[in-house]
Structure 1
Amino acid sequence: MITGLVMDLVAIIVLAYGLYYRRHHRRDLLFAYVALNVGIFAVVSLLLVQRVDIAVGFGLFGVLSIIRLRSSEITQQEIAYYFVAIVLGLVNGIAGAWPLTALLLNGVLLGVMYLADHPGLLGRTRHQLVTLDVVHADPDLLRVDLESRLRARVLHCVVTQVDYVRDVTVVDVRYVVPNPRVGVR
């Protein structure tokens, strides 16, 4: 169990501090990832030591699953970090039997998160909910207006709300920011 605990602490520190916090700078979620991971590790370790019936384990995780993540809006990326923090706790909680397998899985999980969330991969693609002070009847004019305001190329936009009384449009926009290196010598 000590080996699993050490591997788990190293893995969650790399995930939470080394990857997530350095890229996204949300201290509240950093704490949540670490606490959730260590809690899952403790529960799994206890279930293994006590040889509790598997139904009790499934019931416990059923209770954990109904707890809603209450915070300010979290992105799909942040949900992925939650999932990996849980999986690391599970993997390392049962690591006593197969420490090399757990170490390999830790490396795979952390490597995938490093690459999948790397800013160089899709770092210029953005998503934003934009409220405009005008209603556009023509989708092409809407796209031109958004590109002018965002100073970026719009990949996709969907009008989610139109208010003709207040003359307001809410648009869900996906766009690519220009490469700052282009044109720089």
Structure 2
Amino acid sequence: MVDIIGHLGMGLIWLAIVSWLAYDGKTALGFVALGAPFSLLPDIDLWLSKAFQTVNHHGVVHTIVFVAAASIVIGAILAKWVVPRFDGDYLVPPAGSSYVYAIGAVFVGGLSHLFADMLSAPDIAPQVEPFWPFVETKIVTVDVFYYNDPVVNWGLFLSGLALAGVIWWQADDDDSAVAA
């Protein structure tokens, strides 16, 4: 598990890459903006463990199954009440399904969290089992860096910001080309 700033950075990196592949201009920027907060989604278990002693960090909510289920529920809510507000001068949702757009943004953000934890989890927390309940093994964890390493955390965040900045710049160029 990386620190909060590292998770946000990893989320920005993943969202920027996926948005480049799937969308153009402001639609790509909206995808990154919509999904970034959900790069922290699996750590909801830290809050849940305060209310329910049976909830463990890096347990069920640190799985692809949870991220997918949460993405469907949260994405549907975002598609209904948040994505339509993007339509306008700032961020433009895709012409296709706003549900796929919102669910995809939440899903990519959540997956980025699992990936970051796989790179650093064994230091102070249990290893991640992202493929549970299908694979009940912890062999997918690769201890590449210490979770609280400021160089890694800030490096991820600044890299993510740089990629998001490139998308913003490209979106602005797309608007300039249309206006001309």
Report TM bin, short chain: 0.3 to 0.5
Higher helix share: 2
TM-score by length of 1: 0.36
TM-score by length of 2: 0.37
Higher strand share: 1
Greater RCO (Cα-Cα under 8 Å, separation 6 or more): 2
